[in-house]
Amino acid sequence: MKKPVRILFVCLGNICRSPTAEGVLRKMIVGTPLENKVEIDSAATHDYQVGAAPDARSIDHAARRGVDLTSIRARQVVTNDFRQYDYVLAMDENNLAHLQAMSPDRHTNKIELFLNYASNKTQNQTRLEVPDPYMGNAKDFERVLDLVEDGCAGLVQHLLDATVKSAPKVKA
């Protein structure tokens, strides 16, 4: 990878799922060949929470797994994000549809469901969505973390595989 790979995680308000994914991926790439080669951000499809810190429950549950979300602040997706980011990863079908509707046509290929990268896609999961825990309880926030960790692990592997494929061939 010559230039950094830029990844944007997107959910409805950017206070639960997408900042959790941002924090988890930041932690996962530390000490890997991807460190300092991947730029990670998160955003919302709606402006309900712009400027807010992640939900206190997201912060608390993530911290229990060694993930710090405290410096993240909610922002809304802007048109320039589609040009700027290589991956625009939606947490659910509704946000995916919203992103596809607002994206310039030439950038729609960058938009996909985040859990497309999860290794355990079918295990207890009928849809490739990270459910919104906002109206839920502690179990819902833990479920989000489980899904996000799985999706991020698959994304890391995908990026590492892409790095190997793009590495220059060594002559014998």
Q: What is the pLDDT of residues 89-113, one digit of tens each?
A: 999 999 999 999 999 989 999 999 9
Mean pLDDT of the chain: 93
Topology, domain 5-166: Rossmann fold (3.40.50)
C-alpha to C-alpha distance for 11 and 16, rounded to whole angstroms: 8
In this prediction, residues 67-77 reach a mean pLDDT of: 98
Question: How does strand 38-44 pair with strand 111-113?
Answer: unpaired
Is 17 known to be catalytic? Answer: yes
Identify the band that residue 125 occupies on the pLDDT scale cut at 50, 70 and 90.
low
Catalytic-role residue among 17, 57, 81, 92: 17
- Confidence category of residue 118, pLDDT binned at 50, 70, 90: very high
16 is catalytic: no
How does 123-132 read in b/e, with b if 16+ C-beta sit within 10 Å?
A: eebeebbbbb
Task: Give the pLDDT of residue 21.
Answer: 98
pLDDT at 163: 82
Measured CA to CA in angstroms, residue 56 lies from 19, 138, 154, 167 at distances of 12, 11, 27, 42
161-145-43-99 Cα dihedral, nearest 10 degrees: 70
The reported pLDDT for the residue numbered 2 is 75
Contacts of 96 (CB under 8 A, 6+ apart): 90, 111, 112, 113
Burial of 169 (0-12, 13-18, 19+ CB in 10 A): exposed
Q: Where are the domains of the chain?
A: 5-166
Sign of CA dihedral 129, 134, 140, 146: positive
Residue of 81, 132, 150, 152 marked catalytic: 132
